[in-house]
Structure 1
């Protein structure tokens, strides 16, 4: 069936004009729409297959962390799924925004199609590894992060003012938060298993242990708020209710997603450092002291937060606290109906349909102009024929004129000859007359 459809499309393109098929033409508008939908499907595929490949672990133990790779694998699966869900959230915004944007805006996005297409390789690479059963926790996600950043940049550059489905946006948010929560929970458990303090509950907790416990509590609060949001968001088939978020709420959500991304990256870096540290210990059952973990945390925060880094105690807690507060505000606003609005029927056509109509109109106009030109060509041929006839007539007249001129010249010469002859005769008569008189 796929081959038949491919051949069908191929045959159709044979009938399309060059101005449609060339690079940066309207064909790229179709390609960029298909690309976004294709990327969404690939993200779905990867997330689902990752969940099948890596079994879920709700509670890690020492063997999972130290003696096997189960903890690292599950942590990697959580982080990768979170990144894919963030990417998918951005892509879903693309879909709706490109439906309602001005056709010229869609053309501008289409002009970046070939650059957007190159970033598809980051997903294809992951799918290829998954098929070969080579997807492992040591794999770098930098390429995927760059892809996500680039698509966010394109969205912000061209579509930031366009509308998108708020209900889908909220559901995507809950998915991102839950996957982020899984990632945080896993890495926090890895830290708890590896730190010495976990074996000494009677002692006063270190500041870092207190921070970890606070993050665990906030993580549970986030999950609770997400469950509440999920229940309150209207379904797609709900024709009587829709959501409208103001720009501040949307900015807050984007900030929360950024915080979650930085939190999970930081804890992933901390756990990577701890894994290296545990290999250096002589005793396989020995834990890492809190001071070393704290030092690794400072390094991880510096790497992830960069110029915004204020150390793990401020950066990590501020990110988590801000995110939990944002989710609480959103769930409360949903509960009070602050985001509720009446669905508005959109009668306007999608941008791609408008572009198609414009293209058809241009073709029809071209046909009309071509017909007019053909008529003009016929008229021009008639004029040329008339000119040829007139030219032939003129040539004939010129020939006649030339003949007449020759006749006149001949007659004139004959007249001159006769005149000279008469004059000569007259002279002779005069001479004879004078002789006779003498």
Structure 2
């Protein structure tokens, strides 16, 4: 850590301006001090020239720099331009990191992309999956990500994340259209839900992949499970593509043709003639889906059905990858829906770097202010199921919260407008900390 040269050390400390979680002890060598020219604190305001004190991986206090005397030990002090909470990536598929630049993109039928990834899966070696996923974790850390929610079918990803520093929720993916396949998949997933978790694994949950890939018997097994385990985190891809919309409304289109080519039964016995979201409501599953991935297409009924504990996860990179119509962000925000950002995977994106994704969102949504953008990767996802009850709290710089930081560096003096900071080409992630421990530094 660099020495603290930008702020005075020995000014008297004013207790009236300090926010502290507990009384300071006599020993100070174990404490870390983050001296920031600009910091986003309490999930509400930017403050200039502050010192954030960390002990045992927890934020202990936030002080104005001129009012705190700290030991002049270089190893204990980090001088930084902009101090932000670590970013939360609410949707990843690390197992698909090997897919980078190998699949169709642009305005192609979604079913063609599904066929392409299926063919690629059959040729990839397990060691390639793990090696590429390791690189994916590094890219996440380089982009300031400290927590993620990953959907996977592979125990290797569970093991990889257990040995990484990143906090995570694993959602075991479920795909099965036939009854026989459903029983096999379900038993595998039940075993995986009981696996012992590493300290950085926040929770294990389920990802019934999508309404079109979860058949009647699997829905029955899932419904019974979630009714008995309502707090298990559940995420589902829903309303993602125009093909899905047409399929549920008419039973025709590229999805129907895909099923016919592969001699597969659809996920329903009768054409629903409604949106995928309304179909989940009819099946008594909607209310158990805590994370709604993509939701690019929805009806007024879908919008009215979104519950306060549900989170819509938008992936700007995936949207751009498939050249999709503009995401209806304003409609969701005006209705008070909680929206946050995810990276999705290298099967549908060119980067997992959350800082770059946040920068992309700033360009795509000029109507959003800097604080609104920052909330999409911090305070809003931190309220999601599985994360909201985490102790210490995530996604915020506040006394008692986890010392998870994304530290930015910029050539110009930090502006009061975070949007301006974000779009400044000289701004980059300089370091990432998880639990007060440096896990990435720009070289």
So what's the TM-score if we normalise by structure 1? 0.20
Pick the structure with more helix per residue: 1
Pick 1 or 2: higher relative contact order, CA cutoff 8 A, min separation 6. Answer: 2
Pick the structure with more strand per residue: 2
Structure number with greater Rg is 1
